[in-house]
Homo-oligomer: A and B are copies of this chain.
Amino acid sequence: MTQRQRRVRDRTERGRRIVAAARELAEAEGWDAVTTRRLAGLIEYSQPVLYSHFPGGKDAIMAAAALEGFTELAATLVAARPGGLGGVAGSYLAFAEAKPGLYDAMFTLASELRFAEDDTPEVMKACFAELLAVVEPTAREEEAGALTEVFWSTLHGLATLDRGRRLSPAHRDERLALVVDRFGARGD
């Protein structure tokens, strides 16, 4: 029976390798370069093996990568919490810039993931909760949720537009300061 355990362990390990290979390749050459054939080659198995791990095919693999991304983002934001709103904002943008492929999977290409429904994964809620934690002190109680959504949108927009070379590199630091200025503690 221990052999059976080893087999399922090998199997889950192989599943991890698939997602890891996909992430590496996506980070290096973009998700368009992540084809099932190249992925199969990287893990040194044939194509159909991928579908035994992820019946949803490539989309499911990307969704798995996206989930990992949310887990890592949540951890990043937790670590940045002591830095306050500015620290969290900076960490969020640094995350998106350091792992653009992963960030794409999480937001741009997540045709598989569903949010705001009942089946929203816990890790996604955790990310939102971390943003809420630094926004809440600056907001009236009843507007905290909506304000966190706006704050999040600002960070996401900055990350996305910056990646598309649509923002001036010269204003980089100034933008972050302005985010803190506009979303930080108010005078009233």
Decide if A6 is an interface residue (CB 8 Å cutoff): no
A171 partner, pick from B146, B165, B174, B182, beta carbons under 8 A: B146
- Does A153 lie within 8 Å of B178, measured CB to CB? no
Q: What is the bound-complex CA distance between A142 and B120, given in angstroms? A: 42
| A75-121 interface (Cβ within 8 A of B) | 107-108, 110, 114-117
Q: What is the bound-complex CA distance between A168 and B182, given in angstroms? A: 22
- Does A179 lie within 8 Å of B150, measured CB to CB? yes
The count of identical subunits is 2
Instruction: Fill in one digit per residue for A144-155: 1 if any B CB lies within 8 Å of its CB, else 0.
Output: 011101101111
A149 partner, pick from B143, B155, B165, B167, beta carbons under 8 A: B167
Residue count of chain A within 8 Å CB distance of chain B: 36
Q: What is the bound-complex CA distance between A168 and B149, given in angstroms? A: 8
A161 partner, pick from B114, B153, B187, beta carbons under 8 A: B153
Instruction: Fill in one digit per residue for A162-180: 1 if any B CB lies within 8 Å of its CB, else 0.
Output: 0011111101001100110
Decide if A158 is an interface residue (CB 8 Å cutoff): yes
Contacting residues, chain B, for A150 (C-beta < 8 A): 154, 158, 175, 178-179, 182
Decide if A14 is an interface residue (CB 8 Å cutoff): no
Chain B nearest Cβ from A37, distance in angstroms: 20
Contacting residues, chain B, for A152 (C-beta < 8 A): 157, 161
Residue among A149, A156, A164, A168 with the highest chain B CB neighbour number at 10 A: A149
20 other A-B residue contacts (CB within 8 Å) besides A146-B175, A150-B178: A107-B161, A107-B164, A114-B165, A115-B164, A115-B165, A117-B165, A146-B174, A146-B178, A147-B178, A149-B158, A149-B161, A149-B167, A150-B154, A150-B158, A150-B179, A152-B157, A154-B154, A155-B157, A156-B161, A157-B157
